[in-house]
Amino acid sequence: MATTNEPSSGSWDATQWHEVKKGETLWKIAEHYYGDGSLHTKIFEANRDTLKDPNLIRVGQRLRIP
């Protein structure tokens, strides 16, 4: 699982980002970060600006992990 906290060096941005890999689902991503796939709705809600459907994520997409 790829995780980053992006911006440039010297930044205070505390946002954690996840880049979607092939075969990943929000459920799996939630399992990785929270240990519980049912919490995938937290990731979905934090990315409502780019996600319309929790079942539709694409490879390379960057998701905010709250």
Contacts with another protein, residue ranges (CB under 8 A): 3-5, 7-16, 31-36, 38-39, 42, 66
Q: d(Cα 38, Cα 58) in Å, to the nearest integer?
A: 20
Nearest approach, Cβ of residue 18 and another protein (Å): 11
* Comparison of 46 and 61: residue with beta carbon closer to another protein: 46
Phi then psi for residue 10, to 5 deg, are 90, 0
3-class secondary structure, 41:
helix
Beta carbon nearer to another protein, 40 or 57: 40
CB of 66 to another protein, least distance (A): 5
User: Minimum distance from CB of 61 to another protein (Å)?
Assistant: 18
- List the one residue out of 35, 33, 38, 36 whose CA is nearest residue 63: 33
